[in-house]
Amino acid sequence: MSTRPPKASYDLVLLPGDGIGVEVISDARALIEAIAPKLGVTLNLTEIPCGGKYFLDHGRDWPEGSEERCKAADAILLGAVGWNGPDGQPVAMPDGKMAGWNPVIGNRMRLDLYANIRPVRCLPGTKHGISGQFASVWQPDKVDMVIIRENTEGLYSGIGERDAARATDLRVITRRASERVIRTAFELSRQRGRGAPADKKKRVTCIVKHNVLQGCRLFLETFRDVAKDFPDVEQDVAIVDAFSMFVLTQPERFDVCVTTNMFGDIVTDLASVLQGGMGMAVGCNVGDDHAMFEPIHGSAPPLAGKDRANPMAMLLATGEAFAWLGRRYSDERLAKGHAAIEAAVSAIIARGEPLTADLGGSAGRAAVAAAVREETLARL
Ligand SMILES: NC(=O)c1ccc[n+]([C@@H]2O[C@H](COP(=O)([O-])OP(=O)(O)OC[C@H]3O[C@@H](n4cnc5c(N)ncnc54)[C@H](O)[C@@H]3O)[C@@H](O)[C@H]2O)c1
């Protein structure tokens, strides 16, 4: 990433979307508005309504001109999209795409946000909820990996067709898109420098199904080629089905993992279990010139309007946006904001309250978001 001098002000676009996306974006806004004056940084926030509910009301999933506003922003924060129509099914647009496609997958493709970088850590004090019981299952010092998902092609390339009897979805894998995301993975392993928790070795694990799929053969071949430029980083290959077991039973083996679009979508939801669930998991959609940060969860319609969503993933995603902008513009103020948000969330998890129900607590979303704000401010 090419770096530039700090800017006088930064323009952030907020895309609330649907359901709990709207709620957690309001928490992100409140956090930014609280800490920006203390950091001495001006952040101009522009909110663009979007998603399935917006489509039902307006016949399109975001207002005209939104593409340009996202393109002009220094960074984008996304809540989550997805709303059910009167028939109880997720709202789809006339072209068959989900309503909310434009702000999420559309932005990833148009802004060439080719790497979806998903850190997976288990903060000390995390209680894992399994069958309604809460216990510390995974050891925090054994979970510290990053899963990088190719974000612009694969099974989500949007190419396919369907009639009453047959449907196809074309999985496009190109050497160009594979190479840049794999290179990102090797560079990240080098930057992190701490390797996998088990043996401290810098390692990139390529998650594929190359025994069956042509696209995975090309992805793996590209991985082998890129790896030649990183002799200090160990190459590792995992078949996606076996990886799905090892990520939960031996998470300490993994440092940085890289995979294709849909495999990455699925294995990162699975890996979120190590973190305490979807309410803790962040996705950084990053390209060479643009970036969009989001919780990996969806709009969770059953939780919407009930003050029950865990806002921490969205607030950690906000921290990641600060970190990315801080690196891009060599702006220490934003790096400081990132560190304070991370430390605030860690302190609350370690203390064990206030937490939402997904982490075994009984607090509401707003109370948790207020605690993160307070703890962040206390660190600035
Ligand atoms: N990037 C996105 O915008 C995105 C991602 C995934 C799903 N979706 C959409 O979201 C809608 C709902 O999908 P879903 O139910 O499969 O996935 P979801 O992520 O919304 O919910 C899955 C489960 O996790 C829980 N959960 C999610 N976020 C939580 C949080 N912050 N705090 C506590 N619990 C949380 C939910 O209650 C639910 O039990 C669908 O329309 C789907 O298309 C959007």
Q: 212: which 2 tokens?
A: 């069956």
Domain boundary among 250, 276, 302: 276
At 177-223, the pLDDT tens digits run: 999 999 999 999 999 999 999 999 999 999 999 999 999 999 999 99
| Three-class secondary structure of residue 264 per DSSP | helix
Residue at 354 is within a domain: yes
Residues with CB under 6 A from ligand 1: 17, 20, 80-82, 90, 98, 104, 278-279, 294, 297-300, 302-303, 309-310, 313, 358
At 55-95, the pLDDT tens digits run: 999 999 999 999 999 999 999 999 999 999 999 999 999 98
Above 80 in pLDDT, residue 3?
Answer: no
Do 100 and 168 fall into the same domain?
no
Determine the structural domain holding residue 138 and report its residue range: 120-276
Cα torsion 131, 136, 137, 139 to 10°: value is: 160
* Partner residues linked to 295 by β-bridges: 282
Do 50 and 95 fall into the same domain?
yes
Residue ID of nearest Cα to ligand 1 atom 27 = 297
Above 80 in pLDDT, residue 2?
Answer: no
Contacts of 249 (CB under 8 A, 6+ apart): none
Do 292 and 250 fall into the same domain?
no
Do 26 and 106 fall into the same domain?
yes
Residue at 63 is within a domain: yes
At 34-59, the pLDDT tens digits run: 999 999 999 999 999 999 999 999 99
Residue of 23, 109, 299, 318 to test ligand 1 pocket, by largest number of atoms within 8 Å of CB: 299
- Ligand 1 atom nearest the C-alpha of 283 is 1
Residue of 278, 284, 312 to test ligand 1 pocket, by largest number of atoms within 8 Å of CB: 278
Residue ID of nearest Cα to ligand 1 atom 29 = 279
* Partner residues linked to 92 by β-bridges: 98
Residue ID of nearest Cα to ligand 1 atom 37 = 300
- The CATH number of the domain holding residue 41 is 3.40.718.10
At 277-333, the pLDDT tens digits run: 999 999 999 999 999 999 999 999 999 999 999 999 999 999 999 999 999 999 999
Burial class (CB in 10 A: 0-12, 13-18, 19+), 307: middle
pTM: 0.96
How many distinct structural domains can be found in the chain? 2
- By the 8 A CB rule, do 254 and 196 touch? yes
Residue at 282 is within a domain: no
H helix and E strand count, the chain:
11, 14
Domain boundary among 251, 276, 301: 276
At 115-173, the pLDDT tens digits run: 999 999 999 999 999 999 999 999 999 999 999 999 999 998 888 898 999 999 999 99
- Ligand 1 atom nearest the C-alpha of 312 is 31
Do 4 and 93 fall into the same domain?
yes
Residue of 18, 269, 297 to test ligand 1 pocket, by largest number of atoms within 8 Å of CB: 297
Cα(280)–Cα(292) distance, rounded to whole angstroms?
17
Helix (H) or strand (E) holding 9: strand 9-17
Do 136 and 230 fall into the same domain?
yes
Do 227 and 330 fall into the same domain?
no
Residue at 281 is within a domain: no
Do 238 and 364 fall into the same domain?
no
Do 225 and 345 fall into the same domain?
no
Q: 232: which 2 tokens?
A: 């200090």
Q: Which runs of consecutive H residues, i.e. helices, occur in the chain? A: 20-39, 52-58, 66-72, 107-110, 175-192, 214-227, 240-249, 261-275, 312-328, 332-351, 365-378
Domain boundary among 222, 244, 276: 276
- Ligand 1 atom nearest the C-alpha of 365 is 32
